[in-house]
Amino acid sequence: PASHKELIHNIRGLSPQPVCHSPRLFYYERHIFHRQHSTPSPPPSRSPVAANASSHRRQRKGGGSTAPPHITYGFVVPIAGIAAASAYAYCSCLDDVPYTNRRRFLATTPRWEESMGDEQYRALLDRYRGDILPNGHRASVTVQRVGSRIAAAAKNCSREWSNESKGIQRKTNPPPYTYTVVRSPEANAFVLPGNHVFVLTGLFRYAHNEDELASVLGHEMAHNLARHAGERVSESLLMGILSRLALVVDPSGILFSLLLPAQTLLYSLPHSREHEVEADRIGIVLASEACYDPRAARQVFSRMKEDAEGGGARGKNAAPPPEFVSTHPGYDTRLTLFDQWMPDALVRFNEDGGNKCRAIREEMKRARRLAAEMHDGKEGRGRWSNP
């Protein structure tokens, strides 16, 4: 075998022929000789797409997690922008209900709600044109007298609650109220946005005096004060967006068909019952502020419960629907809640030792006597006398 110096001498190319005759060492010497005396060939050219793919493969092998640019800028960034804009819009529309301070989503403005109420008001006037009682009718005079006191109390309470709401400015100069009494066997009353009060004469089966009428009007005006109509429109808008997203996610419509009943049962109906409970609570506060006895609300709903359980307007032996599928809470629930809220309402009613409301209630009695003298006492005689 060749010595070490001879081997190095042959590897450096100083001798064109190797001096080693060992097959293994011979192959090694020829390989080194070929690398030193041959021209290196350039690496094969690759397309930019292949080079980019190779780069991403090396990043994945090295532990990198960067997404490709067309995924980042074409999908992730727009989705993140839409999500951020939606969250900002939702938070910008959050509002607190007066008195209860419940946080809710409200996307409408008072001006838009008033325009909607004005349109509905004109439509209802056309609908009930032949059944509207004249302004001089005893029932109309009483509704206007009681409603005016509740409206003044609502304005005072709105100003008071606005000052307590951490600087949130609310509209304390609402448009004037209108009062419309409709001859109808239906027992109902409602207030449209824009302060349009409607009372159907069937309500007088349950409201036998001014205190009880005040409890009903207080409830309906509380809906208006809390802007429940605008909240329902906002909820419908939100549910419409979610329904369309469901169709985008599942074009077959299966998810959409499941979403509608779930939204009604788990969202719309509970919120409707929450609105009614909230109006009950605010309503007795408005009635007590106007110096009407808030305990009268319990009497009205007790009569409604007896009528419902005995058949009454629903028909003989007709039971009311279960509460979880109803837009209104059950009578037992409402009566129980009245008992919980009554102490606070009575504190407002008996404020200043009862001196504030004592003079006002004497004035109410004089107004009732004057109304009885000015109108024929045959219709509803004795119905409006307080004990």
Q: Which residues are catalytic?
A: 220
CB-CB contact of 204 with 185 (8 Å): no
Residues 336, 200: Cα–Cα separation, whole Å: 27
Residues 188, 278: Cα–Cα separation, whole Å: 18
Beta bridge partners of 199: 181, 189
Q: Regarding beta strands 196-200 and 178-182, do their DSSP bridges make them parallel or antiparallel, or are they unpaired?
A: parallel
How many CB atoms lie under 10 A from the CB of residue 287? 33
Beta bridge partners of 190: 198
Rg of the chain over Cα atoms, rounded to whole angstroms, equals 40
- What SS3 class is residue 293? coil
Q: Name the phi and psi angles at 248, rounded to 5.
A: -70, -45
Match 């001089």 to its residue by tokens. Answer: 136
Local structure of residue 318 (DSSP, 8 states) = P
Residues 112, 95: Cα–Cα separation, whole Å: 16
On the CB side of 123, how many CA atoms lie within 13 Å of its CA? 7
Q: Which of 365, 385, 384, 376 is nearest to 134 (CA)?
A: 376
N- to C-terminal Cα separation, the chain: 135
Residues 184, 190: Cα–Cα separation, whole Å: 14
CA angle 262, 239, 108 (to 5 degrees): 140
